[in-house]
Amino acid sequence: MVERGRLLLGALVRYGHYLEEYRDKIDRLNVFPVPDGDTGTNMYFTVRAATAVIEDAAMLSRLGELKRGDFTSVAKAALLGARGNSGVILCQVVASFCEILGVDSISEASLGDLAEAFELSDRRARGAVLTPVEGTILTVISDVAALAREMAGAKVALLEASQALLDRAEASLERTPELLPQLRKAGVVDSGGAGLVLFVAALGDVLGANRSGAQSELHFGFESVVPEARGLVVGELRPSAASVEIGPRYEVMFILESNAASVNAFREVWAGLGDSIVIVGQDDTYNCHIHTDDIGASIEAGVEAGTPSRIRVTDLAEQVLEERWVLEAKGAGAPDPYVSEAAIPPETSVVVVANGEGVSRIFRSLGVGRIVVGGQSMNPSTEEILAAIEDVPASNVVVLPNNTNVTPVAQIAAHLSGKKVKVIPTRGIVEGLSALVEFDPMVDIEENVARMTECAKRVAVAEITRAVRDYHSEVGEVIAGQFIGLGRDGVVSISDCASGAAIGALQAMLPAGAEIVTIIEGDGSTASATREITEWLSEGHPEIEVEIHHGAQPLYPYLLGIE
């Protein structure tokens, strides 16, 4: 006999061990050959949040004392620890099993219990996503739930059924490429589905039904299609701080009272003084930001254009060192460098998810209240985003997730908050920056969301990175180690160098009438490569204005925006 509570808690602990062992392999089951696959990692941290509660409270050793609230706390931990789309779905599975098996937890577990838990998981998981897609983890959950109900009706023995459920989960996973063309094209199975297979295996382990008693000897079918990195180490994409070209040393910021005609002339002067130029405003009040080596000329240009105020100058080289020190010392009570406070509490505040020192500085200069560190390869948890929402001074909060995989977690955080929170589903840093052009902290949230959403939609984006494996794309064969340009619909350019991939992406995406191209430099960018990109633009498209920002984002040497 296995008690219901022991089956649930034991399976979750075992599942955490499986995810820890297989997370890297699941991460590599990525549709695109980019170095930021994170499904396995997201599922691991989601479950780890739940198992931490189980272990800290020694729940398995005092099963008879547990109440319904103990299992609710496990489900809540998974919810707060959820990361990415896969984590959001997985926390629904954990909550469903806690609800079914957490009642009368010392009674004997039955196949009917498993069927009911999987069926509830199926309903909740599908309800958690806006548009359920077959060929994903949702399909695997549904297939397992259907078989569990069928076998429960036939009164199949629990031990025998648990092995059959694992077989069904693996068979369902194997057919995901038949249902989802992107998987078939990439030659992989669904990564979230692979993670769900491990959960079914963990249930079988507790029941004593699996093919091997030793975890290290138990092999899963999806391992045969896990792509190899072909010798390219992701760490190679992360140059040391000494190798990153920082660019102009000083950051100059001020508020400028002026008019449109004067600001246009002012913008041209600043274009010759530095980069990372941001000049946004309305009603003759402009927020101005530049990275430059000539502080005096930058401020004088503002005086000639109007009346500058709240002038601030920052030594970027010193700030980089200070921010690193602050991050290391944060646990000792040092102030958070990703916090920006206003003198007057705003009507609406903004929380963004971003990674990279330069990117964070730009976001702060545009009035962002809190920055949650995360993005590609490091999705933040529900709890981290919720804490940022609660921490800003305004009762109305706009969240910019800047990553499609972060959006569902941000939506859960918004639901959990007592404040009025709106999530604008920005898909990348450039969209987030574009949305902030229309942000006004003293305007109500509905008006801000309408303006910001429309502004974000107007920008076309591309991301430049290096492929971690071979890949067949619509524009040609990608070899591991080559640079690729990724648009919203997939690979748009391939090159042996970052500048070539960026230029190829611009060639493929520049629409007639484009006015502005934004280039955000990240780790792996160089001054010479950036110059090649800007020279190509100036020669072929002299009418386009180019803005360059030092973002220092990892893994992606260049982020491009076209407006």
Mean pLDDT of the chain: 87
- Asked whether the whole model's pTM tops 0.85, one would answer no
Q: What is the pLDDT of residue 283?
A: 65
Q: What is the pLDDT of residue 469?
A: 87
3 state DSSP class of 392: coil
The distance from CA 263 to its chain's CA centroid, rounded to whole angstroms, is: 36
Q: What is the pLDDT of residue 209?
A: 66
DSSP 332-391: GTPPPTTB---SS--SEEEEEEE-SHHHHHHHHHTT-SEEEE-BTTBPPPHHHHHHHHHH
pLDDT at 119 over 90: yes
Q: What is the pLDDT of residue 212?
A: 47
pLDDT band at 336 (very low <50, low <70, confident <90, very high): very low
What is the Cα–Cα distance from 220 to 172, expressed in whole angstroms? Answer: 13
What is the Cα–Cα distance from 463 to 211, expressed in whole angstroms? Answer: 44
pLDDT at 521 over 80: yes
Q: Which residues of 258-275 are buried (b: 16+ CB within 10 A; e: fewer)?
A: beeeebeebbeebeebbb
Percent share of the chain, pLDDT over 90: 64
- Which fold, 4-227? 1.25.40
Contact in structure between 4 and 106 (CB atoms under 8 Å): yes
Q: What is the dihedral of CA 196, 465, 489, 23, to 10 degrees?
A: 0
Q: Which of these ranges, 124-133, 379-388, 505-514, has the smallest mean pLDDT?
A: 124-133
Q: Is 154 exposed, middle or buried (0-12, 13-18, 19+ CB in 10 A)?
A: exposed
What is the Cα–Cα distance from 289 to 268, expressed in whole angstroms? Answer: 14
Q: What is the pLDDT of residue 1?
A: 83
Contact in structure between 415 and 386 (CB atoms under 8 Å): no
Q: Is 461-562 assigned to CATH 3.30.1330?
A: yes
pLDDT band at 335 (very low <50, low <70, confident <90, very high): very low
pLDDT at 36 over 80: no
Convert the pLDDT of each residue in 44-76 to its tens digit.
Answer: 999 999 999 999 999 999 999 999 999 999 999
pLDDT band at 38 (very low <50, low <70, confident <90, very high): confident
Which is more confidently placed, 115 or 257? 115
Q: Could you tell me the two tokens for 14?
A: 């075992």
3 state DSSP class of 297: helix
pLDDT at 400 over 50: yes
Q: Which residues of 438-471 are buried (b: 16+ CB within 10 A; e: fewer)?
A: bbbbeeebeebbebbbebbeebbbbbbbbbbbbb
Q: What is the amino acid identity at position 259?
A: N
516-521 β-sheet, strand order: 490-495, 483-487, 460-466, 558-562, 516-521, 545-550
pLDDT at 278 over 90: no
For the domain spanning 338-458, the CATH number is 3.40.50.510
pLDDT band at 31 (very low <50, low <70, confident <90, very high): confident
- Region of 340 (left: φ > 0; alpha: ψ -120 to 50; beta: rest) is beta
Averaged pLDDT, 169-175: 97
Q: What is the pLDDT of residue 131?
A: 80
pLDDT at 365 over 80: yes
pLDDT at 213 over 70: no
Max mean pLDDT range (414-423, 512-521, 550-559): 414-423
Averaged pLDDT, 13-41: 90
Q: Which of these ranges, 149-153, 353-357, 369-373, has the smallest mean pLDDT?
A: 353-357
Q: What is the pLDDT of residue 316?
A: 58
Q: Which of these ranges, 17-26, 70-79, 235-244, has the smallest mean pLDDT?
A: 235-244
Domain regions of the chain by residue span: 4-227, 235-327, 338-458, 461-562
What is the Cα–Cα distance from 449 to 398, expressed in whole angstroms? Answer: 7
Averaged pLDDT, 150-177: 96
Q: What is the dihedral of CA 160, 161, 163, 165, to 10 degrees?
A: 170
pLDDT band at 214 (very low <50, low <70, confident <90, very high): very low
Q: Which of these ranges, 222-236, 298-312, 392-406, 469-483, has the smallest mean pLDDT?
A: 222-236
Contact in structure between 441 and 282 (CB atoms under 8 Å): no
- Which fold, 235-327? Alpha-Beta Plaits (3.30.70)
3 state DSSP class of 234: helix
Q: How many CB atoms lie within 10 A of CB 329?
A: 11
Integer distance in angstroms from the first to the last C-alpha of the chain? Answer: 64
